[in-house]
Structure 1
Amino acid sequence: MAAKKLVAVDFEVFGKVQGVFFRKYTEEQGTKLGLRGWCMNTRHGTVQGQLQGPEGMVKIMKDWLEKTGSPSSRIERAEFKNEKAIEDYTFSGFNIRH
């Protein structure tokens, strides 16, 4: 049986995403989906990061970042860049960077 295709993608989420536990919920959701990567607040009021995992799970997480987020967040848009197939993970889990 072939291994699931792993992909990596960079993301940035715009809107009211700071001060609303967005990173905490992103970490929880990423971990729940078995993804690896990181997220952090930026100086210009967005949350950015990288996801790594099976293609289907990354797609679910992208939808979550675009439409759901944390309960108090107001997502204007999410941008995804540099999506590519990867041979193996470069992160051991999903965490918040400061």
Structure 2
Amino acid sequence: GCYFTKFTRDLCTKAGITGWVKNSKQGTIVGKMQGPKDEVDKMINWLSTKGSPGCQIEKCDLRNMGTLNRLDYKTFEIRF
């Protein structure tokens, strides 16, 4: 594999983004991110255009984007 979830977790943690990421049964990556808008925007760009070394981005489907009064997560984790 290309360790997409690990790279995502590490980059989000470094950027102060909280939430989670996991591999789906359909062979895709799903997750939730919360944090400073500029950092989330940078992460969206990474997720949709670059990704981890060796991966191939075919599509990036973003949903439920909005502004939060408070974060729902304290850390960024890989779920299984």
2:41 corresponds, among 59, 62, 71, to 59
Normalising to structure 2: TM-score of the pair? Answer: 0.96
1:92 and 1:38 map into 2 onto residues whose CA distance is: 10
SS for the counterpart of 2:35 is: strand
> Which position in structure 2 is the counterpart of 1:38?
20
Q: Deviations over 1:20-79 (max 9, x none)?
A: 100000001111111001000000010000000011111000000011111010111111
Q: Which has the higher strand share?
A: 1
Deviant stretches of 4+, over 6 Å: none
**Which residues of structure 1 form unaligned runs of 5+?**
1-18
SS for the counterpart of 2:58 is: strand
Which structure has the larger Rg over C-alpha atoms? 1
Q: Which has the higher helix share?
A: 2
**Which residues of structure 2 form unaligned runs of 5+?**
none
2:26 and 2:46 map into 1 onto residues whose CA distance is: 22
2:70 corresponds, among 71, 77, 88, to 88
> Which position in structure 2 is the counterpart of 1:4?
none
**How many equivalent residue pairs?**
80
Give the share of equivalent positions with the same residue, in percent. 36
**RMSD of the TM alignment (CA)?**
0.7
